[in-house]
């Protein structure tokens, strides 16, 4: 395992930068403080989340939390957008140069009220592995040597993007979103590779950005887009099996993602103290082993995956 010591559970702060869900500053700051009080020791953000508002709100909360939790942010996208809203793809410009990395990190630390970044991710350098290695990573390596950055990683939603960067540089961590969950466990082999190489792998987006929380009857998004009919049908089949065992779909999804011990940490998403409490309750909920075997028998789960209560060899 990597020398990077990550708490087993972290809170992704993308939702905490949104105002379109009716979340104001006070409620967002309260949620962060509540998460820390409940034992969550790591908070992950990015300039892109809420067009800087996530970092601003997290910084305001951090000023009131003792001891300070671990904080991570990201570098990779330049944009102009009003704070508190999703930055549309057309308004984003990827930039993995050292000059931009310097400006981006300095601005992030100012918003967070920090002098040091515990962990900095290169934000999804798709098709830009060479530029990210020579620019952003090289810059961060200098800061790591100087003690201004604790660890360096990449945050991706595609294993190929992570592998391309790892072919060029040594990283401390990889944040993999949406590739190890009940609907897609294609990242399982990559998680094993990271563990064997001493890289801290982080499983993120265990609820598929929404649909594994809301269910098939009121389908939320799937990978940040409307869920297609095939995914809705698959979720309905999983949900029916969960119902037979008296288990909430979101509890099964969270417990499944948390069971893979090739991952160093599970990054959760929540926007309010109620959602945080519900998520932690789901992670603690008892789930009968028969549920997992029913999912396997129905062709909805691979029998070779690590299930809750089981550890990989």
Helices vs strands, H then E, count in the chain: 12, 12
The span from the CA of 211 to the CA of 195, in Å, is 29
The span from the CA of 107 to the CA of 226, in Å, is 33
Alpha-helix residue ranges (DSSP H) falling in the chain? 25-37, 53-62, 98-112, 129-132, 138-146, 159-166, 188-197, 211-214, 229-244, 249-258, 273-284, 289-297
Is 49 annotated as catalytic? yes
Helix axes 159-166, 188-197, angle to 10 degrees: 20
Identify whether the C-beta of residue 311 lies closer than 8 Å to the C-beta of residue 260.
no
Phi/psi at 217 (nearest 5 deg)?
Answer: -70, -25
The span from the CA of 153 to the CA of 44, in Å, is 12
Q: Name the active-site residue from 49, 96, 180, 222.
A: 49
DSSP letter, residue 137: I
Which residue numbers are catalytic? 49
């Amino acid at each position: 395992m990597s020398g990077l010591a990550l708490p087993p559970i972290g809170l992704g702060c993308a939702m905490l930068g949104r105002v379109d869900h009716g979340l104001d500053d006070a409620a967002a700051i309260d949620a962060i403080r509540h998460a820390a009080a409940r034992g969550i020791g790591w908070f992950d953000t990015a300039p892109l989340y809420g067009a800087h508002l996530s970092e601003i709100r997290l910084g305001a909360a951090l000023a009131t939390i003792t001891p300070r939790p671990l904080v991570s942010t990201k570098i990779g996208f330049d944009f102009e957008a009003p704070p508190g809203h999703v930055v549309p793809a057309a308004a984003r410009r990827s930039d993995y140069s050292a000059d931009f990395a310097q400006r981006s990190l300095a601005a992030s630390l100012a918003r967070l009220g920090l002098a040091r970044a515990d962990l900095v991710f290169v934000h999804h350098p798709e098709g830009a592995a060479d530029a990210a290695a020579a620019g952003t990573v090289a810059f961060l390596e200098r800061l790591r040597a100087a003690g201004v950055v604790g660890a360096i990683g990449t945050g991706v939603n595609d294993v190929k993007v992570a592998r391309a960067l790892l072919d060029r540089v040594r990283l401390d961590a990889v944040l993999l979103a949406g590739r190890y969950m009940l609907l897609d466990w294609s990242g399982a082999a990559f998680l094993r590779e990271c563990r064997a190489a001493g890289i801290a792998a982080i499983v993120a987006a265990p609820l598929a950005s929404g649909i594994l929380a809301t269910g098939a009857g009121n389908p939320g998004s799937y990978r940040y887009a409307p869920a297609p009919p095939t995914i809705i049908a698959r979720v309905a089949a999983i949900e029916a099996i969960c119902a037979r065992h008296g288990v909430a779909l979101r509890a099964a999804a969270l417990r499944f993602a948390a069971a893979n011990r090739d991952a160093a940490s599970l990054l959760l998403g929540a926007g309010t103290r109620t959602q945080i409490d519900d998520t932690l309750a789901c992670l603690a909920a008892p789930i009968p082993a028969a549920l997992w075997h029913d999912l396997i028998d129905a062709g909805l789960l691979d029998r070779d995956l690590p299930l809750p209560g089981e550890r990989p060899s």
